[in-house]
Amino acid sequence: MKALLAGTLALALAAVAVLVFVGGATGGAVAFALFGVASVLGVSLVFLAVGRSEDQERAESPPADPENPHPRPALDRRRPLPPRRPS
């Protein structure tokens, strides 16, 4: 995880370096592409970190009801459906 974060930061710094030292339309395009890849990697790492923390939290806490590990309380609260019309 730390290596991915370091790679993302390196890409962002490379984008800044290309923008400063290369210049012109080509330098701007390359810097824009590098920064775009770094941004996508950064957002992906955030989602990965959130997902891992949720998985760890879920693994540490046992389910509330062993018979029904995935309760659906909204279905219990809703009004009964009207009777179906004969077809």
Would you say residue 46 lies in a domain? yes
The Cα 50–Cα 35 span in angstroms is 23
Q: How far apart are CA 77 and CA 23, in angstroms?
A: 63
Look at residue 50 and tell me if it is in a domain.
yes
For residue 18, tell me if it sits in a domain.
yes
Q: What is the pTM of this model?
A: 0.65
Domain extent at residue 15: 2-60
**Each residue's pLDDT expressed in tens, for the chain with a length of 87 residues:** 888 889 999 999 999 999 999 988 999 999 999 999 999 999 999 999 999 999 999 888 776 777 777 778 787 777 888 888 887
- Is residue 66 in some structural domain? no
Q: How many domains does the chain have?
A: 1
Residue 65: its pLDDT value, please? Answer: 72
* Residue of 58, 44, 59 whose CA lies nearest to 1: 44
